[in-house]
Structures are given as C-alpha cells and as structure tokens.
Structure 1
Amino acid sequence: MSLLGALDKDPPPGIVCYPIDDDMTKLESYMKGPPDSPYEKGLFQLEIRIPQQYPFEPPQIRFKTPVYHPNIDDGGRICIDILKGGEKGAWKPSMNIATTLISLNQLLACPNPDDPLDAEIAKEYQLDHERFLRNARALTLKYATGQHHVSYWKRNMYFYADH
C-alpha cells in the first residue's frame, strides 16, 4: 500500500492529507478540531516530512496553525510518544500516516499535561481549566477559523468525495 493508501481508501473523518508538489516526502494535512473540545470550530494545518528511513523512523509533523495546547509549543512542535522513535518513543514501523493523524486529533481532544511542551499551559490546564478552555477557544477563533480555512476545506473535501 502506498504512503497515503489508508488515507485515500478510507479517509478519517475531518482529516485530509496530500503531497506538496507531488513530493511524497513533503505532505500537508488539514484536520478539523475534535467535537466537544475548545478546538472544535477550528481547521488546523499540519506540515509532515517523511524521513528517508520511513517507516522505520517516524514522520516529522508540526502544526502550522497556532494551537494553545500543553503538548504543542508555539513553533508547532508536538510532544507525543508516537512521533518519537527508539527506546523512548512509541513509533512502530507498522504505524501509518492515517493512524498518526488520528492520534494527533485525539491529542487535541485529550491533552496530556503530565508530559508538556509548554509547562505554563499545562499548569493552567490542571489548575484553572476554565481559563485554559477560554484561551484555547480564543486562539482557535483567531488562527484556525475564517473564510480561507472554510473554502480550503470545502475544496479539498470535494476532491476527496470524488475519489
């Protein structure tokens, strides 16, 4: 199966992914924020780089859309075990891009404040959850909504519906 085979055959709800300029080592993905989360009204752009040793090394993924989240820093880097290889990571060669993107969407829905990239946001998540939710919603509305995001999503979902 091709790199994007699972995504082409059975795309997960709310997630699209495709190569940039037909280069299978550079992918772009858009995912809708999970329902019942402070991100639910947002559309988030991700940049994916496929290393030469893939699938024996995990893809390099970062959020291009700013996200207020304990496990995502202001550069879009993500702290999740499945994006780490070796003894300390959970990446396995049997994993694929589709399952990885689904896991990232689940991370949006259920942050892990015990393993943060942003300690201040993690502290807020744990000690003042309502404030965290307000801040996450505000940043989502500022950066992950708007006409550009909506029109882009509709255009790509039309493409995926035809295939």
Structure 2
Amino acid sequence: MCHANGQDQRVDRQQRVLTQVQGGHFKLEITFPTEYPFKPPVVSFRTKIYHPNVSNDDKGSMCLGLLRADEWKPPNKVVAVLRLIQTLLIEPNPDDAIEPSIANEYRENRKEFEKNAKDWVKRYAK
C-alpha cells in the first residue's frame, strides 16, 4: 500500500501536461529536491483524477515505485518517469494503491470504475 508523501523541499518545479485516453488533459508538477539526482523528484497531479494510484486530496500524490527513495537511482531520467506515468494512467496498479476504495472498484467493478473516471475527466480535466 502506498502513502502520500508530505515532502516539501522545493528548489525547482516544472509543470507538464499529459493526455489520458479519455481525452482529458492532466497537469503534473515535478519538484526537484536539492539532493537531486541522488533523491527522486516529487511528482504530483495538479488536475484531479479518479485513479487508484493518485490521491484524491489537494496534494495529488501518486504511487510509482520508481519515485520511492529506496528504488530511485541517480541515472534515472525524468522522461522515463513521465513514460511510466502515462502507462500507469492507462493501466492502473490496484496492488500498489494510494486510494484503496478506487482500487477495489477497479478490481471488482471495472465498468463502474470507467464510468467514474470518465465523469472526473469531464468535471476536472477538460
């Protein structure tokens, strides 16, 4: 199970927009700590998204193994992180969820999950 990270050492921030399959545009914030590249960047969604691996709170924290301190390696590239995020948007990982109720819905009622995800795209990501 993943947990939101309260890390707030901000030195450099960049924002990117990714497009999801349902046609929504999602803004991401990438914060590079002073120890980068020895510590991972912090990536958060600035656009709300209905997804088991992204928190529903204002922080928009996400669960991505590569961004965990114990898995991050200095040679890792931000472009690889963005590619993994795009993959995660299309193929959620309910076994490493930050939103357990959405993960359960994804596993047990995919049709309802897809409906809710599309509703959130219309509401927040157009």
Indicate the TM-score class for this superposition, using the shorter chain for normalisation: 0.7 to 0.9
- Rounded to whole Å, the distance in 1 between the matches of 2:83 and 2:117 is 20
Paired residues in the alignment total 114
- 1:63 partnered with 2:50: no
Q: What CA RMSD, in Å, does the superposition of the two structures yield over aligned residues?
A: 1.1
Q: 1:28 aligns with which of 12, 15, 21?
A: 15
| Percent of aligned pairs sharing the same letter | 35
Aligned to 2:115: 134
Helix, strand or coil for the counterpart of 1:45?
Answer: strand
- Rounded to whole Å, the distance in 2 between the matches of 1:103 and 1:92 is 15
For residues 115-155 of structure 1, give each alpha carbon's deviation from its aligned partner in whole angstroms, at most 9, with x where no partner exists: 1101100000000000000000110111111xxxxxxxxxx
Moved over 3 A (4+): none
- 1:120 partnered with 2:97: no
| Higher RCO (C-alpha under 8 Å, 6+ residues apart) | 2
- 1:45 partnered with 2:32: no
Q: 2:72 aligns with which of 81, 91, 94?
A: 91
**Which ranges of structure 1 fall in alignment gaps of 5 or more residues?**
1-23, 146-163
Question: 2:26 corresponds to which letter in structure 1?
Answer: F
- Rounded to whole Å, the distance in 2 between the matches of 1:103 and 1:141 is 24
- Rounded to whole Å, the distance in 2 between the matches of 1:130 and 1:25 is 40
Question: 2:68 corresponds to which letter in structure 1?
Answer: K
Cα displacement (A) at 1:54? 0.7
Question: 1:132 corresponds to which letter in structure 2?
Answer: F
Q: Which has the larger radius of gyration?
A: 1
